Amino acid sequence: MPIAIKAENISKAYQLGEIGTGTLSRDLERWVARIRGKEDPFLKIGETNDRTKKGSSDIVWSLKDINFEIEQGDAVGIIGRNGAGKSTLLKVLSRVTSPTTGRITGKGRIASLLEVGTGFHPELTGRENIYLNGAILGMRKREIARKFDEIVDFAGVERYIDTPVKRYSSGMYVRLAFAVAAHLESEILIVDEVLAVGDAEFQQKCLGKMGEVSKGEGRTVLFVSHNMGSISSICNRGVLLKKGMISEVGQINTVINEYNKQMLRTDNSELENSNEEVALRKIEIKNTEGEYLVSNCKCIAEIEIYSKKYIEDVVVGVGFNDNMNTRILTIFSKHFGKYYKINPGINILRCEIEQLPLKPSKYFTEVYVGTAYEQISHYNCGLNIEVLEVKNQDMPDHTQGYIVVKQNWN
């Protein structure tokens, strides 16, 4: 497959605090350095973007030495913690802002959806907004006209097409905006985490459309999300960012696993230096009677928590989400009246589950740690678990619900 996007040594520096060097003399100094072809005296290379530490200069590298290649037709998931540089990378790729150093080359037009409905004007009708939005995304009028019916159909707003969008429900608004970006004849589609606004049915539709765009139409998709479920269902490749640098590139499953490993702080020195009082070290869910998780098996959830201090009345919960990020099951110590005392250092909390009521599928866990009154920590996607199918055992399909319980028929 030909290369669609190639990034070489991309870095992006942001200045913290005051914009400009602050004084005219330093502005001049910088300007003199620049026209003499020297490096900016106020840009120090070598500092990474660590929000938790105070840097020695006001410059922060939001992206540093990013290199990757994306093939045409790839669906690439970009993941990382908040502040890892995902959005900055998308902004640079969408040409909204330019990189401080490096070069990106590519082929094909880019339609980017960093926000739903950019450039929509509330007074204009749906029809007018489709044209305006399409043109903002770089399409010619005739191209939009060609796709017009498809867009309206996808968004399901046919009745309201000549109504000003200010009278649209928020759901209709989002549907229309996504439909425009997804249907235009761009070869590269960039989508930031924007789908969270729609309802579940629409999210499913969008994810389906994105999958179709990349697999069916051979277009390249770049997708940022915190929802590992949707990432793994759409993307075949992944880029994991950590503090503005690339931590892993490759097959999406490998990248997600690496991400999960990083979310769990196993490195003790890192834990001690972090400004988080409480951190999740490990979460594991294992079958106590067998090797793999299967429906209705007896299992145990083990949660390792690192704390810097002694805390009373701690409650812990684990949520199991399906790949649409719908919560299927929550186990929560509070519901069963269990409050823990957490000691400085590592604490291991265990929960026995008599019969795991999950159907065979992939699930993504979220871990909640709090006191009786407030949240202390929350971890998204701490662990992906897979409940395996047992041979010769029929399970309810999606029309028959999400869970399965042990049942004795007489």
Partner 1 sequence: MTDYEHHSWEISPQRSLFDLKLRDTWEYRDLLWLLVRRDFVSFYKQTILGPLWFFIQPLFTTLIFTFIFGMAGIGTDGLPRPLFYMAGVTAWNYFADCITKTSTVFKDNANIFGKVYFPRLIMPLSIVISNLVRFGVQFLLFLAMMGYYAAQGADIRPNGTILLFPVLLLLMAALGLGAGMIISAMTTKYRDLAFLVTFGVQLLMYASAVIMPLSETPDQYKWLIQANPMTTIIETFRYGFTGQGTFTWGAFGYASGFTVITLLAGIVIFNKVEKNFVDTV
Among 23, 48, 105, 273, interactor with partner 1 by CB under 8 A = 105
Considering only 26, 34, 51, 140, the residue that binds partner 1 (CB under 8 A) is 140
The CA-atom distances, in angstroms, between 62 and each of 47, 76, 122, 258 are 10, 20, 34, 21
Residues 2-31 interacting with partner 1 (rule: CB under 8 A): 14-15, 19-20
Q: Which stretch binds partner 1 (CB under 8 A): 108-116, 155-163, 314-322, 382-390?
A: 108-116
**Binding to partner 1 (CB under 8 A): which residues in 247-276?**
none
Q: At its nearest, how many Å lie between partner 1 and the CB of residue 154?
A: 20
Q: Which of 138, 156, 171, 357 binds partner 1 (CB under 8 A)?
A: 138
Q: How many residues bind partner 1 (CB under 8 A)?
A: 45
Handedness of CA 253, 259, 262, 263 (dihedral sign): negative
Q: What does the buried/exposed string (b/e) look like for 21-50 if buried means 16 or more CB atoms within 10 Å of the residue's CB?
A: beeeeeeeebeeeeeeeeebebbeeebebe
Token digits of residue 321: 């989400």
Closest approach, Cβ 27 to partner 1, in A, equals: 10
Residue 124 interacts with partner 1 (CB under 8 A)? yes
> Taking CB under 8 A as the rule, does residue 1 contact partner 1?
no
Nearer to partner 1, 188 or 404 (CB): 188
Q: How far is it, in rounded angstroms, from Cα 11 to Cα 99?
A: 6
Label the pairing between strands 340-342 and 3-15.
unpaired
* Binder of partner 1 out of 121, 127, 237, 378 (CB under 8 A): 121
3 state SS of 160: helix
- The tokens for 210 are 């994105």
Sign of CA dihedral 104, 86, 66, 43: positive
CA-nearest of 237, 231, 245, 261 to 83 is: 245
Q: Which stretch binds partner 1 (CB under 8 A): 104-112, 225-233, 238-246, 389-397?
A: 104-112
Question: Which of residues 49, 100, 203, 262 is near partner 1 by CB under 8 A?
Answer: 100
Pattern 151-170, binding to partner 1, x per CB under 8 A? -------------x------
CB atoms within 10 A of CB 2: 8
**Binding site residues, partner 1, CB under 8 A:** 14-15, 19-20, 91-110, 112, 114-115, 118-119, 121, 123-124, 128, 131-132, 135-141, 164, 185, 187
